[in-house]
Chain A
Amino acid sequence: MKQIVELIINGDSHDVIVEEHRSLLDTLREEAGLTGTKKGCDVGDCGACTVLVDGQPVNACLMLAVEASGKRVETVEGLQSASGALHPLQDAFMRHGASQCGFCTPGILMMARQLLEENPDPTDEEIRFGLSGNICRCTGYTKIFDAIRSAAQEMRTTRETEVTL
């Protein structure tokens, strides 16, 4: 059975016609054309497809598109501002070599974004715990930790500046 599902992806409304069994991941990639979110295992083991749904991280392969109906879905494509400015996490990932093959990167960026949203000043242990559902096979994680620490610092500084102003 196909049905029309309204997804609000990165602020834009998308009406997609999908079968009830279709995952949010396949819907994002195949129907909405947003291929930034990657399919690493399709069974919820690797975290490559992590997106935020109403602000909470989910494995998009484990959620049906119909379950996300009417909800706010945020993907890596929405991290960059409309003016093209990179999110501090994106910039830090580039500077610190946190992205090698890049296949896990979109999922890790989304998980890190949510982590810093909840906890702007995480300890190393909290960063490690936050990423424990995201597999990276290239970097040994150390550069990813460096990048997240650096972005967190930058985002805190920006917030402090904004408050002062």
Chain B
Amino acid sequence: MNMPTPNLKNEFRIIGKSVKREDVIEKVTGAGSYVSDLKPVGMLYGKIKRADVAHARIRRIDVSKALAYPGVKAVLTHEDVPRVLHYGSPHPRSASCTKDQFILDNKVRFIGEGVAAVAAISEEIADEALDLIEVDYEELPAVFTPEEAIRPGAPLIHDVGPGGNLVLEPVRVERGDVEKGFAEADFVLEGEFSGGRPVPAYMEPNVCLADWDGSNKLTFWTSTQTAFMVRGILAEVLGLPVNKVRVLVDHMGGGFGAKQDCFQHEFLCALLAKATRRPVRMEFTRRETFIAGRSRHPFKLWLKQGFRNDGTITARDMKIVYDSGAYGSHGPGVTIVGTNSATSLYRCENVRLDGRCVYTNTPIAGAFRGYGVVQTYYALDIQMDEAAERLGVDPADLKRKNAVGEGDIAPSGHPIVGRGLEACIEHGIAGFDWKARRSLDRRPDPSRPHIRKGWGVGCEMHGSSAYPGIKEQGNAVVKVNEDGSITLMTGAAGLGTGAHTALAQIVAEELGVLFESVSVVHGDTDAVPWDIGAFASHTTYLVGSAARIAAGKAHSGVLERASAKANVPVEELMLVDGVIHVTGQPGLTMTVAEAMGPSKGIPAANILGKGTYEPTKSYSFAAHFVEVTVDTGTGLVQVDRVMPVHDVGKVIHPIAAQGQIEGGIQQGIGHTLTEDYVIDTTNGRSLNAGLVDYKMPLSMDMPEIDTVILEAAPDPSGPWGAKGVGEDPIIAIGPAIANAIHDAIGVRFRHYPITPEDILNALKQREDQ
């Protein structure tokens, strides 16, 4: 492990300040370049023919009519594309991906899977050509739920994998002695939990653009979080060296994890461009982002825990099944991370966990913010609330008592640094006025007896980085230009989180220059250092550390040049805000520009700082406190107020971090109350693949959010102790809302989304009893 030198600074000039994000100018002026904004001369439009059967063999595809249609330039089927089994999720050869996809197969595994692709001179012609492609299917029996899929004799969806429609061998985690733990318990709680299929619904539909030059080099613009992984997998499948594939991404319209995969359309776009020798752009419709994008994994979970009367958890037994849909994608990673996460959050010595991931004939689940953990912590946190109710104690107090902290081992096997979770809970109890609110008179207002208020708290922890599932590396190059300006080169993608701004802040701080003097070059695999991708809440943590190391080296280079120029020993020089001072000699200064200026007629030295960083893991924590109003007449739940309290270590850009948190709250409210991409479990058809029928919280639905960011438990493995923040805010909000609904109406829900129908049915059921 290559830890940076410990930070002794306690005064920061740029870190911790909400500097103006210069990358946003392009976004507010409309000048920013997203892939769908590009239109090279001669560009063709690509479209995909999608299957309308859930499970079938393709007997024959007739494309003759489509090929003859005026304006159609190429049609590809499984007979025309390389048959290379590949990883849907192109993480570098780790346990978290599975090799089960062909670009186009002679078999169909879900309704909506691509079976052919067309390139034409307009989108309309391409669309019309799709209708002219005739496919003769031999239909196969299909399964649409994990229960059906794992039943003995169920039709097998893949030839690969451990069999029985399992995506990977069951993940089993055992620690301590569970039976002994249950024997020591004063009471045992047991429950079943489940969750639907929320989708990331990023605003920019998936899009890519491919162009080949005369030297057989592919230039590929794509909206991806993992440009180098796309480069690697395209090169591998197309049989090219990586320097013959250049992947470019400038601005991208969100991803939330799901744009980590290498998608079917990306291969097809490259191959259509090759076949036509013309640039081809392929852009999903919004419907396609549902059908052919990636969702969170639907899940079923059984959880049994033993408790002592003092609130101690004596044993935890959990089984979880994730529904991967038709392909593995991130199923293995999600299963490993999600299952292991249940060793933690609330301390327990005796743990037995079993995690499975199952293929079904439904659209593909993939990576999504809160990777596997949203599901398990929903269950853990709600059951903790149930325990508090049984014990007659305040759930916030019980959660604080059992919160993991310093001295405990994290799910990754690493020791936890600090007491971040306790700090978050304590701050929220005070800041939210929790005790007073919870003890308010619960009798309903006689004039509005159907209106009930409730308060809930949910907790979470989440790792910065995907280690140990993936061995990660961050890289950065910092270049000092001849006029004293600084260029940071990074492979990290900009999803919209503000990561490039944070990286520039880190460089400016470490180098000792003004933030405004640093510009960032990114998004071109030919020009920037290798990057693993922007995911796992790790860009600021991982690439930030690399940038800090690189900036430190550039700092030394600048001082050495100044030292030679001014004939002053390096040790006596200090660089602050772009000005080099000589210790003990006030007034004797030299700017970085002067230091970099001509010396013996040579105007600039080649000062480059390179940084590489391989961290292990750190954990961020949060407690979310919410107030809800439940209308028992309509079943509607309104989230009125949220106080998300987050420990992120050292915060680099407070407004950007708050923005991440508030966006996560919005998605989490959606998950918990309204969002579910529904697949008909009788035939595998999508029922709500559009933004009207898939209900997300909009401006009118958002509560008051009082975001609190603590720097309670800085982790030395991140820059100045910084940890990740991106995924955390979507995790705790769900159980917080479920717990608040229980507080309001006394009904315990153990699934999401909790719909008005669920609430009305539960209230009616209680009335009938």
Contact = CB atoms under 8 A, between A and B. Distances in A.
Contact of A143 (B204, B658, B692): B658
A141 B691 contact: no
Nearest to A100: B496
Contacts of A140: 659, 661-666, 702, 705
Given A97-B658, A101-B495, A43 B665 contact: no
Contacts of A109: 28
A140 B252 CA distance: 18
B251 interface: yes
Contact of B37 (A29, A43, A46, A100): A29
Contacts of B1: none
Interface in A129-154: 129, 131-132, 134-145
Given A134-B699, A137-B663, A137-B667, A41 B690 contact: yes
Contacts of B202: 101, 103, 137
B700 A102 contact: no
A122 interface: no
Given A90-B29, A135-B691, A97 B655 contact: yes
Contacts of A65: none
A104 B29 contact: no
A99 B28 CA distance: 8
Nearest to B691: A45
B286 A138 contact: no
B696 A99 contact: no
Nearest to A110: B30
A30 interface: yes
Interface in A42-62: 42-43, 45-46, 48
Most chain A CB atoms below 10 A, which of B37, B205, B659, B665: B659
A130 B705 CA distance: 19
A30 B661 CA distance: 36
Given A101-B252, A137-B254, A138-B663, A90 B28 contact: yes
Interface residue SS majority, chain A: loop
Nearest to A22: B124
Interface string B6-50: 000000000000101100111111111110110100000000000
Contact of A97 (B21, B31, B33): B21
A132 B28 contact: no
B36 A39 contact: yes
A90 B690 CA distance: 30
B189 interface: no
A114 interface: no
Nearest to A41: B286
B546 interface: no
Contact of B39 (A30, A75, A77): A30
Nearest to B39: A30
Contacts of A138: 203, 254, 496, 659, 663
B146 interface: no
Contacts of B252: 101
Interface string A27-44: 001100011111111110
Interface in A93-123: 93-97, 99-106, 109
A24 interface: no
Interface residues of A, number: 54
Nearest to A103: B253
A38 B204 contact: yes
Given A35-B37, A40-B204, A101-B202, A137 B696 contact: yes
A101 B664 contact: no
Interface in B692-720: 692, 696, 698-700, 702, 705
A26 B369 CA distance: 32
Contacts of A97: 18, 21, 498, 655-656, 658-659
A105 B28 contact: yes
A102 B253 CA distance: 6
Given A42-B285, A43-B690, A101-B254, A128 B30 contact: no
A142 B696 contact: no
Given A137-B254, A138-B496, A40 B705 contact: no
23 contacts: A45-B286, A76-B28, A76-B30, A94-B20, A97-B21, A97-B498, A97-B659, A99-B496, A100-B663, A102-B27, A102-B28, A103-B254, A132-B699, A135-B691, A136-B203, A137-B202, A137-B256, A137-B696, A139-B666, A140-B663, A141-B666, A142-B705, A144-B699
Interface of B: 18, 20-21, 24-34, 36-37, 39, 200-205, 251-254, 256, 285-286, 495-498, 655-656, 658-659, 661-667, 690-692, 696, 698-700, 702, 705
Given A43-B690, A101-B204, A105-B27, 20 more contacts: A36-B31, A41-B691, A79-B29, A80-B29, A86-B25, A94-B21, A101-B203, A102-B28, A102-B32, A102-B251, A105-B28, A109-B28, A132-B699, A134-B699, A135-B203, A137-B254, A139-B659, A139-B663, A142-B705, A145-B699
Interface of A: 29-30, 34-43, 45-46, 48, 75-77, 79-80, 86, 89-90, 93-97, 99-106, 109, 127-129, 131-132, 134-145
